[in-house]
Structure 1
């Protein structure tokens, strides 16, 4: 499915908001994890990366390439529930990040 420039712009804005929320939480990493961490076969690289690292170094990087190159966007997304699970029981609420991921999920799902 080919998305309009309007949707691509909204997705780009959403990606920036997700980055800003990671920075607010002080969970924006200044150094990239070792390449071995990206060879995981687990969803979200759960066995090798923290969820927030996956968001920064896998999700955001891939989505930025997709948007910048005008590639088709994924037709569904369900990242927000994973964020909710990650922040459950942690001292940080992560609500701002979860909210932005919900917006992203809804944009791709056409809601």
Structure 2
């Protein structure tokens, strides 16, 4: 009896795996970059870690969390807003540096 139940469970699982593979192949054929996970990397992870540490230690961030929870926002929404806030706050500190090329001598950069 248990073998019959196990076979019944495995059959739909195999069908689901097969259909997922076919869907992924079709998406890759028609929309090549759709399934790529761009933007999920060390920068996003760093922002998330900063927000978690601020939620634990920073009184202003804890007050913000309480206010937004009282308003009915979810913790996920609050974390997303805080990540954006942190990104806006630290971007000027780590923004791209500009190195101007000296037109008189292209091998030198202007200071």
Where on the TM-score scale, by shorter chain, does this alignment land: which range?
under 0.3
Normalised by the length of structure 1, the TM-score is: 0.27
TM-score normalized by the length of structure 2: 0.27
The higher radius of gyration belongs to: 2
Structure with the larger helix share: 2
**Higher RCO (C-alpha 8 Å, min separation 6):** 1
